[in-house]
Structure 1
Amino acid sequence: MRQAVTVPEADDTHPHAATVRNLEQSAGKLAAAAIARMDRNLSWYRAMPPENRSWIGLVAQAGIAAFTEWFRHPETPQAISTDVFGTAPRELTRAITLRQTVEMVRTTIEVVEAAVDEIAAPGGEEALRNALLVYAREIAFATAQVYAQAAEARGAWDARLESLVVNAVVSGEIDEGDISRAAALGWKSPEHVTVVLGSAPNGDSELTVEAIRRAARYARLQVLTGVLGKRLVVIAGGAEDPLRAAKSLIGPFAPGPVVAGPPVADLPAATRSARAAAAGLRACAAWPDAPRPVLADDLLPERAMAGDPVARELLVEEIYRPLEQAGSALLETLSVYLEQASSLEGAARILFVHPNTVRYRLRRVTDVTGWSPSEVRSAFTLRIALMLGRLDEGEPGPRT
């Protein structure tokens, strides 16, 4: 049930007291006329549920009442946004857009303007019309203020939700609630997700987050991002190549290493990518010449030496075990070749085989593991994998 809008009686000492009385008496009729015109001319108003139309009616009524009070005391500062939109500010900004609110206000002003000659006392038409023009400007500023405040509130709430989701992924405590929060933020469950970690720059973290979002829009990536302590965390979705995604987002990161975790299928699995990226970030100090950004999987040796159990397991299961299953000749040849400073001839002499045999076996090592013993970085990775595999076996390697 609507509450009646009451206004004080007009002061007879007012220079336009008769006009003020006419405004008071016509307020209800003007509000009804404004609602009727909205119903005729605004299709979005007709399509709204009755409850929302009732809110708009309250706002139109409050706007005319506020104009009457403002016309009575133009010298007194009036909080127009409170007087007009205070009836249902939160509901209003959620129910209708800013453009629709502007159309609603314009319609109400037009109705009052059309009735100026009828409402104003003789000789007061120009004063009422000028007052309405000034009031229209003030109500426009008040409208913008209401929606700006609502946008700021929504932005702060969205930032809080995003921070919760990012923290849950990094800490490994993501649940259905976090997935729902991500969906509310516009996360559309892309097929490929990777986590990128690096140092956050000094200054306003909100500016850093906005810079990441701009870079993501340009790269056509979905992102959830936040600054956690001194780290800038970006959960990027929609890119099959994590290194390419990291390169497109690297601009806002502070100087220093930036590590991209392995791609995973969805947001819950992003915890695995975040752990790998975090382990890689800790281990980056052991590889001063690491590229920027760098993949967490390219840091497997450093991560293993830093105590990362996942990296140790990957090196053993993806390098040592396949070589072991492929035959002892590959393991023995690789071990001797690495010990002989990557010399084909030296390994061939120790193994009593032709250098071409060593070359063939090393090609087989590359085929089996994906790492080439002839490349310095790959040879280092293979050496660490052999050491970990032997430790895992609990037996010393073959003597040469």
Structure 2
Amino acid sequence: MMDRIREETTRRLERSMGTLGTAAMSRMEEQLAWFRALSAEDRSWVGLVAQAGIAAFVEWFQHAGADDGGRPKPSIGFFGTAPRELKRSISLQQTVDIIRMIVEVVEAQVEELAAPDGRVQLEQAMLRYTRDVAFAAAHVYAREAEVRGAWDARLEALIVDALVRGEVDDGLHSWAAALGWTSSPVVVIAGQAPDDDPRAVIDAFRERGRRIGLDLLAGVQADRLIVIVGGASGEREAAKHVVRQFGPGPIVIGPEVPDLHAATRSARAAIAGLKASSGWPDAPRPVHAEDLLAERALDGDSDARHQLVENVYEPLAGTPLLDTLATYLEQGTSLEATARLLFVHPNTVRYRLKKITELTGYQPTEGRSAFTLQVGLILGRLAESAATWRALT
């Protein structure tokens, strides 16, 4: 008796599949904002998914026995109807929405769809099917999330490693796009890694980035933590959001660059600054890589050496300002001693020191600036001497 009722209900369901699919699409259009926001092509694919879902339910209902042992397991294989791009863009919640729409459509017509005396049988079947498919969907999405998480972690590690090594090509933006990177400008920050598990540290950065609306990529290399921040309104803001996630010790902020492709320059400066930071034990935390130019230059950083020569020596070369600066530093920053040796009035020295500050950005009367100017002066002399030596030989 129950089997005959099931067969009759199955025939009614099969005859109504087209109508049910159309009704499901209308209900989604009416109730689901995310569905209305899809392109016409994607809405069409969702319609095919809904139709396939109804067909899958009819197939399952037809073969579902009265006892648990004879009832087949539902699946969400009907989602394979959609292209990969659509499946990536539909979340678990939206998947549940599609299933719910299908069930609501069937429930609204249960009187017409069920055979005589088959209403209870059809309603119970829908409840079982909905429950089992929802669990199956959650399981599939959890497995996909785990696979996706492992793949994202691999891409993130490749991006960080490429920037640190300076090996930037077109593939870098493809990797970043796969992770959803859309932000600029970019700042790279380097410091000591915390004692936590590296994977947990990186996951925490990713989650924090989602909360604060910034793109964050992180990588742990030995005891060093590298963080790439995209979309911050400045270097200080970029550091503010990530400083607490670093371990103890210095934290160095690389210069802001326009995009991820140029971030290798920021990464190189931040890492060089971290390496040389022991030369300035009282440096603030965090500290800009630009503020460590002198220490970086002494530690062998060629970028810092070139920058100091370009910013300090070259603007002063061939002018009285260079001799004034050299004499002022050699005389222990004594204004009067400098004026006597140069045979000028102290006010003239003051004026020249002011011009030096305007041209270089460093103030000779301030301790840290005087030290940086001294290193830049020496590096400029060495570079000029080397150029002369090469010309003579």
TM-score when normalising by structure 2: 0.81
Aligned residue in 1 for 2:360: 369
CA, structure 1 residues 96+356, in 2 after alignment: closer, same or farther (shift >3 Å)? closer
- 1:379 maps to which of 370, 374, 378: 370
Unaligned 5+ segments in structure 2 are 30-34, 387-393
Aligned residue in 1 for 2:28: 42
Aligned residue in 2 for 1:195: 188
Alignment RMSD, CA only?
A: 3.4
SS at match of 2:260: coil
Name which of structure 1's ranges 265-274 and 28-37 shifts more when overlaid on structure 2: 28-37
CA, structure 1 residues 343+198, in 2 after alignment: closer, same or farther (shift >3 Å)? same
Aligned residue in 1 for 2:332: 341
Contact 1:372 1:379 in 2 (8 A): yes
Aligned residue in 1 for 2:278: 285
> Following the alignment from structure 2 to structure 1, what is the Cα–Cα distance between the partners of residues 121 and 232?
64
Task: Compute the displacement of 1:270 (Å).
Answer: 1.5
| Superposition map of 1:157-196 within 5 A | 157-188=151-182, 190=184, 192-196=185-189
> Following the alignment from structure 1 to structure 2, what is the Cα–Cα distance between the partners of residues 219 and 325?
51
Aligned residue in 1 for 2:135: 141
Do structure 1's residue 109 and structure 2's residue 83 form an aligned pair? Answer: no
Task: Determine what percentage of the aligned residue pairs are the same residue.
Answer: 47
Aligned residue in 1 for 2:389: none
Aligned residue in 2 for 1:59: 53
> Following the alignment from structure 1 to structure 2, what is the Cα–Cα distance between the partners of residues 112 and 189?
45
> Larger % of helix: which?
2
Unaligned 5+ segments in structure 1 are 1-14, 396-400
Do structure 1's residue 31 and structure 2's residue 17 form an aligned pair? Answer: yes
SS at match of 2:228: strand
> Following the alignment from structure 1 to structure 2, what is the Cα–Cα distance between the partners of residues 25 and 283?
78
| Superposition map of 1:1-400 within 5 A | 16-43=2-29, 44=35, 47-48=40-41, 53-75=47-69, 79-81=73-75, 93-94=87-88, 96-113=90-107, 114-115=109-110, 119=114, 122=117, 125-126=119-120, 128-188=122-182, 190=184, 192-213=185-206, 215-216=208-209, 221-239=214-232, 241-327=234-320, 330-394=321-385
Deviation per CA, 1:247-294, whole angstroms, max 9, x where unpaired?
A: 332121222221111222332222112111111111111111111111
SS at match of 1:186: coil
Match for 1:300: what amino acid? L
Deviation per CA, 1:298-349, whole angstroms, max 9, x where unpaired?
A: 111111111111111111121112222332xx33332232233322234344
Contact 2:193 2:225 in 1 (8 A): yes
Task: Compute the displacement of 1:83 (Å).
Answer: 6.3
> Following the alignment from structure 1 to structure 2, what is the Cα–Cα distance between the partners of residues 66 and 260?
59
Name which of structure 1's ranges 312-321 and 162-171 shifts more when overlaid on structure 2: 162-171
CA, structure 1 residues 218+352, in 2 after alignment: closer, same or farther (shift >3 Å)? farther
The aligned length equals: 377
> Following the alignment from structure 2 to structure 1, what is the Cα–Cα distance between the partners of residues 202 and 215?
13
> Following the alignment from structure 2 to structure 1, what is the Cα–Cα distance between the partners of residues 302 and 365?
27
Task: Compute the displacement of 1:40 (Å).
Answer: 3.9
CA, structure 1 residues 187+24, in 2 after alignment: closer, same or farther (shift >3 Å)? same
Deviation per CA, 1:139-198, whole angstroms, max 9, x where unpaired?
A: 3333333334344444443333333333222221211222233234333352x3222122
CA, structure 1 residues 51+269, in 2 after alignment: closer, same or farther (shift >3 Å)? closer
Contact 1:194 1:242 in 2 (8 A): yes
> Following the alignment from structure 2 to structure 1, what is the Cα–Cα distance between the partners of residues 233 and 362?
21
> Following the alignment from structure 1 to structure 2, what is the Cα–Cα distance between the partners of residues 28 and 145?
29
> Following the alignment from structure 1 to structure 2, what is the Cα–Cα distance between the partners of residues 60 and 48?
20
> Following the alignment from structure 2 to structure 1, what is the Cα–Cα distance between the partners of residues 212 and 119?
59
> Following the alignment from structure 1 to structure 2, what is the Cα–Cα distance between the partners of residues 362 and 144?
70
> Following the alignment from structure 1 to structure 2, what is the Cα–Cα distance between the partners of residues 204 and 155?
16
Contact 1:90 1:150 in 2 (8 A): no
CA, structure 1 residues 19+86, in 2 after alignment: closer, same or farther (shift >3 Å)? farther
Match for 1:250: what amino acid? V
Contact 1:277 1:296 in 2 (8 A): yes
SS at match of 1:315: helix
Task: Compute the displacement of 1:27 (Å).
Answer: 4.7
